[in-house]
Structure 1
């Protein structure tokens, strides 16, 4: 198994997450009518599925996730994930109504995830000089355990991945909270660190 990132390298990755997620949250704030969206200090960690499910409230937590791959020099998955109740609130904010049919709600969530992911990857691209684009979003609904198993399979990893994680929450009613996870396979995390000179 390849060596794990050092603390210094994880700090560098956290700074990447800080910049990328900051751009993403600004995009999300515009989507929800300019309301304030607060961002936690991002974390960078090496995790397997059990640790990832704990980040999301446990394997049985009910979640909605938008999964996007990456085109460009990095390989991995960007995941915008929310508790189910918060996803319903976000759909209502995006559509300005609460009774939209499921197809419209899913389309709005997918479009929001695409805009947020594009902003995040664009910010990372500015840091690295790489052109990074998200793939078409796929919505996943269910409990955190199976959702993350599916996501880990998409990274081509059945073991550890480098995770850049941040939490966000909006101010106002309804409140919306969730997380952004950027999951990189170890080869991509090494390439990113090398590009950053760490």
Structure 2
């Protein structure tokens, strides 16, 4: 039997979690690039590992940085950057200086770690949980297979995957955009709602 779909109140609560977590992640990114980063309206999706990549990632080459979570939540944090935007962020992180590919990847992974830490810390303050990211894993290539791998690893059984997130854009001094996603195991999503009194 499929798990019940979240109520409107529960969806609103999950959107607020996405807004708080991604908002703090965007603030951390703004400090890294020295500008302002704006967020879209937060998204909440219940999707499958099969359908999710098309719904969440679009087409084209991208960089997907995945971090696991330790603490009361189980799942993954994902920083998704189209290839051109990843290049822009990497250049900003190395301050426009010549850098070897491994140095650029290391800078990008560390930036993802800082963003994820800010996101989880904010959610931790909201819930009273101690949440930390694991070591980043970076993958370059077509976005859909990379996202399918993340969704399948988080929730390998049947039924929907719970995804929270938001798009972000920076304009100056570095123009770039991307998406932050929080992919939760179904049990963790329910535990989060229970913690929030829902």
| TM-score, scaled to structure 2 | 0.94
Rounded to whole Å, the distance in 2 between the matches of 1:80 and 1:11 is: 23
Quick check: 1:91–1:108 contact (8 Å CA) kept in 2? yes
Q: Report how many residues are paired.
A: 195
- How far did residue 99 of structure 1 move? 3.4
- How far did residue 98 of structure 1 move? 5.5
Rounded to whole Å, the distance in 1 between the matches of 2:82 and 2:71 is: 30
Quick check: 1:10–1:45 contact (8 Å CA) kept in 2? no
**Which residue pairs with 1:177 in the alignment?**
177
For residues 19-76 of structure 1, give each alpha carbon's deviation from its aligned partner in whole angstroms, at most 9, with x where no partner exists. Answer: 111111111000002x011111111121123233232223xx2110110000000100
Change (3 A) 1:163 1:6: same
Rounded to whole Å, the distance in 2 between the matches of 1:174 and 1:19 is: 23
Rounded to whole Å, the distance in 2 between the matches of 1:98 and 1:89 is: 12
* C-alpha RMSD of matched pairs (Å): 1.3
**Gaps in structure 1 of 5+ consecutive residues:** none
- How far did residue 88 of structure 1 move? 0.4
**Which residue pairs with 2:138 in the alignment?**
139
**Which residue pairs with 2:5 in the alignment?**
4
| TM-score, scaled to structure 1 | 0.94
Which of 104-113 and 154-163 deviates more? 154-163
Rounded to whole Å, the distance in 2 between the matches of 1:38 and 1:3 is: 33
**Which residue pairs with 1:194 in the alignment?**
194
**Gaps in structure 2 of 5+ consecutive residues:** none
Quick check: 1:77–1:154 contact (8 Å CA) kept in 2? no
Quick check: 1:42–1:166 contact (8 Å CA) kept in 2? yes
SS of aligned partner of 2:86: helix
Quick check: 2:58–2:144 contact (8 Å CA) kept in 1? no
User: After TM superposition, what 4+ stretches of structure 1 lie above 4 angstroms from structure 2?
Assistant: none
For residues 148-182 of structure 1, give each alpha carbon's deviation from its aligned partner in whole angstroms, at most 9, with x where no partner exists. Answer: 12102321335421110200000125411000000
**Which residue pairs with 2:25 in the alignment?**
24
Rounded to whole Å, the distance in 2 between the matches of 1:114 and 1:15 is: 22
